[in-house]
Structure 1
Amino acid sequence: MDVYVVDAFTDQAFRGNPAAVVLLTEDRSAEWMQSVAAEMNLSETAFADLRCTDPTHPIPAPLDPTHPIPLRWFTPKAEVDLCGHATLATAHVLEGARRFSTRSGVLTATPTDTGIELDFPADPLQPVEPPAALVAALPGVTVLSAHRGREDFLIRVASADEVRALRPDLSAFAQDSSRGVIVTAPGDQGADFVSRCFYPAVGIDEDPVTGSAHCTLAGFWGHELDRSLLVGKQLSARGGTVTVQLDGDRVRLTGRAVTVLSGRLTC
């Protein structure tokens, strides 16, 4: 089966967030997918089941863009319900407009002049009292507020410089009840907001660029800035840019992608 490594939410190789994309042409178990994801050792590996696009043709060419392609995502340790950058990577590999059937419903990917636009579910937030252990795990920052989405904590801090300089206690995050922690602040250098995202509980100490987190960030900063169309920058070592547009209970995420490796799985 074909496998690719794609750098997502960037237009430069070796930037953004790398994802592996496996194009399934035969039945494989979840255990096998988890083993492949562990072998790839990237934040997520996507598995697109091409067998289901047309019952009369196992691998139709070209793919039918109206038929949802089953898509699953695995970290090195676990299957996840939603992954933006690996969906962007999959759409980049398959080219053209696509619909994906996932744990988070049907997601669409549409090529535009500015990249590939993903239509994802928004992540509503509830304000919470920041847990003391979580605040203690964020040395050197000024915590201004805390919110909880479906899976992650969102922590707003005072400045982009605090986000850049942050060296969190990841062991404390791993003991938390959430999937992960999003640390965010007002943007600089052309961005409306900045963020960094930490997911040690699912085997990702720091995710380079996180599409699903921007479903959370879009609602938070859309309310704070009273705008629906925003540009976010994730300040990881690799860095990446995500344009977000809040539209009711949906978020449109736009980014580019670059293929850096293509090959074949032999097992």
Structure 2
Amino acid sequence: MSTAIAIIDAFASAPFRGNPAAVCLLEEERDAAWMQQVAAEMNLSETAFLRADGEDGYGLRWFTPTQEVELCGHATLASAHYLWTNGLLSVDREARFHTLSGLLAAAKTEDGIRLDFPAEIAEPVTAPEELIQGLGLIPRFAGCNRMDYLVEVDSEETVRTLRPDFGLLAKADARGIIVTSRGHAGSEPSYDFVSRAFYPASGVNEDPVTGSAHCALAPYWQRRLRKDELSAYQASARGGALRISVRGERVFMTGQAVTVMTGQLWV
């Protein structure tokens, strides 16, 4: 029996930009070991596994090449795009996903796909030595939430030119490390803030565009800039732009997606 699968570039308006995710539509239950093998075969930062959950949306799980994760934005955006473009869900209906982080939703808008995610506030901490040495700098701010470290540095240039020691960063007691700064006012286009995100302990040295990282970045920069509406850019090699709204304990992220490949799994 075959299983439908697609590769979709998320937070991208054109192919080969943003963050690619594999989306696998399950017709029957498959165990976590099988999902992990498929994710390792896809070798993308995340592979999403969707399964219809009656009239109440879809079950959704995310796997890196080495482990399951609790929250992933770009593969959720890719999953919603897959449902709408393949006629599995009417474009005027909200996509609802039951996940390890609770109920997540996505809606089609004029600007793209808007994700409704929880805010994941990073509380201030003392930066551990492996973080300082791995990044090669003393952060302006270091915080941590249930998943990641969040580090503010002095400039957009520092974010863009950073060359981390991934072996040292993998030793940090967290899923990953998010590095950010305020955007440079003179750049074109300009953004409120920029970031990069590193997940060597999860088998992904640098993630191209990370929705879940912005669940920490958005409330952080909302407080710093005193703005509820923010523009963001993740400055990886592929790059990706996001429009963000912060509403209480929810973060709304808007981006686009492009399907680059569809096929069948024969395992």
Letter in 1 for 2:57: P
Q: Which residue of 2 aligns with 1:145?
A: 141
**SS of 2:251 mapped into structure 1:** strand
Superposed CA offset, 1:198-257 (max 9, x none): 001110000000000000000100000000110110000000011111111111011000
Q: Which residue of 2 aligns with 1:234?
A: 234
Distance 1:6 1:15, change over 3 A: same
Say whether residues 1:165 and 2:165 are aligned partners: no
Superposed CA offset, 1:15-43 (max 9, x none): 00000000001221111000000000000
Q: Which residue of 2 aligns with 1:210?
A: 210
Contiguous gaps of at least 5 residues in structure 2: 85-90
Tell me if structure 1 keeps the 8 A contact 2:123–2:143.
yes
Return the offset for 1:132.
2.3
**SS of 2:135 mapped into structure 1:** coil
Return the offset for 1:165.
0.5
Q: Which residue of 1 aligns with 2:99?
A: 102
Tell me if structure 1 keeps the 8 A contact 2:130–2:171.
no
CA RMSD, Structure 1 to Structure 2 (Å): 1.0
Letter in 1 for 2:82: V
1:118 to 99, 111, 115: 115
Distance in 1 of aligned mates of 2:50 and 2:23: 7
Q: Which residue of 1 aligns with 2:87?
A: none
Q: Which residue of 2 aligns with 1:47?
A: 49
Distance in 2 of aligned mates of 1:204 and 1:41: 9
Letter in 2 for 1:43: S
Tell me if structure 2 keeps the 8 A contact 1:68–1:106.
no
Q: Which residue of 1 aligns with 2:79?
A: 90
Letter in 1 for 2:167: S
Tell me if structure 2 keeps the 8 A contact 1:230–1:245.
yes
**SS of 1:183 mapped into structure 2:** strand
Return the offset for 1:91.
0.3
Kindly report which structure 2 residues correspond to 1:1-267, keeping only aligned pairs within 5 A, or say none.
1-50=3-52, 52-54=53-55, 67-95=56-84, 96=91, 97-139=94-136, 141=137, 143-188=139-184, 189=187, 190-267=190-267
Tell me if structure 2 keeps the 8 A contact 1:211–1:253.
yes
**SS of 1:213 mapped into structure 2:** helix
Distance in 2 of aligned mates of 1:153 and 1:237: 21
Tell me if structure 2 keeps the 8 A contact 1:142–1:158.
no
The count of corresponding residues between Structure 1 and Structure 2 is 253
TM-score norm. by structure 2 comes to 0.93
Return the offset for 1:149.
1.3
